[in-house]
């Protein structure tokens, strides 16, 4: 019997909590016997997209590459957990439509003000100062999912509660055995 | 018990027989219960490296990306079969040293004359006519592996015999159970 892979696609603002959630859920999935790989936006940029910038075209290319790799892994039984902002709905939907394994979109619905107040990498500060162009939420749009499989609100729920709810959803879909 | 992944890294001239061998061995590996993914040079260029050319720097970047994805798959129990020319020894050795799963380098040692006479994509003809720059074997170097795990000579052996020999090697390493 071979494992069922799938894609957990987190989307939301910088600072919304995507990487925190990805890093919190991955060990839980591994404990359930699932091979799990986190595709972090920054790591993928370094290894697959060096030279690309943050224009819409370059962002789209970067997100498509994450989708390509996530699908390669997922169709081979791995859980791909992605944590890139992925601001454009059309690209996310394109990746969903091409996915050869279940695609679970998780909208990390953190208000911009809260995400900006966290500013874990100091990027909002730079974007407000005009030192970064095309910054999602400041000078570039974010298009929320219209029908995400799951929405988590880190303003109202702790990380553990969000993770528990995501795991319950996966179990209800029969994806974690 | 989780599957053991590994990387089968074919290297050799265009027309040497890399893709033919990759496509012949993949179903045999699947029949042995191994999840197997072929990372073909052209497919990866389309999905991960669009915009890159064939200068040494761009080739190196393309091959490193194949290595990155092959490793992601292999460390998750998948057999990654790569079939890119990958002409530069240093980059292949770099990928080997970074691999988190067994790296099996297979030198497809087909003489240039034979590979050129096959010319499956008509590329040698274009390279000789000066319509393609930086073409391995014509206007760009090929650095053969110094200690490949396996060498196959398609001039002397049929494809089936090569595949049988590769499978025997994998079995001897305990990689196919």
pLDDT tens track for A44-72: 888 998 888 888 899 899 999 999 999 99
B11 SS3 class: strand
Burial class (CB in 10 A: 0-12, 13-18, 19+), B132: middle
Rounded Cα distance between A5 and A147, Å, is 21
Hey, are the CB atoms on A73 and B77 less than 8 Å from each other? no
List A19, A49, A86, A99, catalytic entry: A86
Nearest CA in chain B to A73: B73
Distance to chain B for A9, nearest Cα, Å: 17
Rounded Cα distance between B66 and B77, Å, is 17
Distance to chain B for A6, nearest Cα, Å: 14
Question: Does B118 fall in a domain?
Answer: yes
Rounded Cα distance between A31 and A90, Å, is 34
A contacts of B73 (beta carbons < 8 Å): 72-73, 76, 78
Distance to chain B for A93, nearest Cα, Å: 17
Reply yes or no on whether the pLDDT at A1 is more than 60: no
Query: For B51, left (φ over 0), alpha (ψ -120 to 50), or beta?
Result: left
Residues A94-122 have a mean pLDDT of 97
Contact B77, B3 (CB under 8 A): yes
pTM: 0.93
Residues A80-108 have a mean pLDDT of 97
Question: Does B37 fall in a domain?
Answer: yes
* Per-residue model confidence (pLDDT) at position B52: 86
Query: Which single residue is written with the structure tokens 């040293």?
Result: B97
B7 SS3 class: strand
A contacts of B2 (beta carbons < 8 Å): 35
Residues 6 or more apart in contact with residue B108 via CB below 8 angstroms: B10, B11, B12, B13, B16, B17, B18, B21, B152, B154
Which among A2, A65, A78 is the nearest to B47, CB-wise?
A65
Question: Does B27 fall in a domain?
Answer: yes
Question: Does B91 fall in a domain?
Answer: yes
Question: Does A55 fall in a domain?
Answer: yes
- Rg of chain A over all Cα atoms, to the nearest angstrom: 16
Nearest CA in chain B to A46: B65
DSSP string for residues in chain A: -PPPPEEEEEE--TTSSHHHHHHHHHHHHHHTT--EEEEEHHHHHHHH-TT--SSHHHHHHHHHHHHHHHHHHHTTTPEEEEE-----HHHHHHHHHH-SS-EEEEEE---HHHHHHH-TTSHHHHHHTTSSSS-BTTTB-----SS-SEEE-TTTS-HHHHHHHHHHHHHHTT---
pLDDT in tens, A117-140: 999 899 999 999 999 999 999 999
pLDDT in tens, B77-121: 999 999 999 999 999 999 999 999 999 999 999 999 999 999 989
pLDDT in tens, B36-86: 999 987 788 889 988 888 888 998 999 999 999 999 999 999 999 999 999
Question: At A2, is the pLDDT very low, low, confident or very high (cuts 50, 70, 90)?
Answer: low
DSSP state of B174: T
* Per-residue model confidence (pLDDT) at position A71: 97
Question: At A97, is the pLDDT very low, low, confident or very high (cuts 50, 70, 90)?
Answer: very high
Which among B35, B50, B64 is the nearest to A77, CB-wise?
B35
Tokens (6 digits) for A43: 């790591």
Question: Does A177 fall in a domain?
Answer: no
- Residue A158: give the domain boundaries: 6-172
Helix orientation angle between B89-98 and B56-74, rounded to the nearest 10 degrees? 20
Contact A143, A86 (CB under 8 A): no
* Per-residue model confidence (pLDDT) at position B168: 97
Burial class (CB in 10 A: 0-12, 13-18, 19+), A79: buried
Rounded Cα distance between B127 and B115, Å, is 13
Rounded Cα distance between B84 and B67, Å, is 10
- Tell me which of B5, B33, B35, B79 to substitute to probe the interface with A (most A C-beta atoms closer than 10 Å): B35
Distance to chain A for B120, nearest Cα, Å: 27
Query: Which single residue is written with the structure tokens 């930086």?
Result: B134
Question: Does A39 fall in a domain?
Answer: yes
Question: At B2, is the pLDDT very low, low, confident or very high (cuts 50, 70, 90)?
Answer: low
Residues A79-85 have a mean pLDDT of 96
A contacts of B72 (beta carbons < 8 Å): 37, 69, 72-73
Q: What is the domain count for chain B? A: 1
Catalytic site residue B86? yes
H or E stretch at B104:
strand B103-108
Hey, are the CB atoms on A73 and B72 less than 8 Å from each other? yes
Q: Domain with A110 in it: what CATH number?
A: 3.40.50.300
Which among B2, B48, B78 is the nearest to A76, CB-wise?
B78
Question: Does B177 fall in a domain?
Answer: no
B contacts of A53 (beta carbons < 8 Å): none
């Amino acid at each position: 019997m071979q494992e069922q892979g799938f894609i957990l696609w987190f989307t939301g603002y910088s600072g919304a909590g995507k990487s925190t959630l990805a890093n919190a859920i991955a060990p839980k999935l591994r404990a359930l016997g699932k091979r799990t790989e986190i595709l972090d936006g920054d790591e993928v940029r370094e290894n697959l997209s060096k030279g690309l910038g943050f224009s819409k075209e370059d962002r789209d290319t970067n997100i498509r590459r994450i989708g390509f790799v996530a699908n390669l892994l997922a169709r081979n039984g791995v859980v791909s957990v992605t944590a890139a902002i992925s601001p454009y709905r059309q690209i996310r939907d394109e990746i969903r439509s091409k996915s050869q394994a279940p695609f679970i979109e998780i909208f990390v619905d953190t208000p911009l003000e809260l995400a900006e107040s966290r500013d874990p990498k100091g990027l909002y500060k730079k974007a407000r100062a005009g030192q970064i162009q095309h910054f999602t939420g400041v000078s570039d749009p974010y298009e929320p999912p219209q029908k995400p499989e799951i929405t988590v609100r880190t303003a109202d729920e702790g990380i553990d509660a969000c993770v528990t709810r995501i795991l319950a959803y996966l179990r209800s879909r029969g994806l974690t055995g």
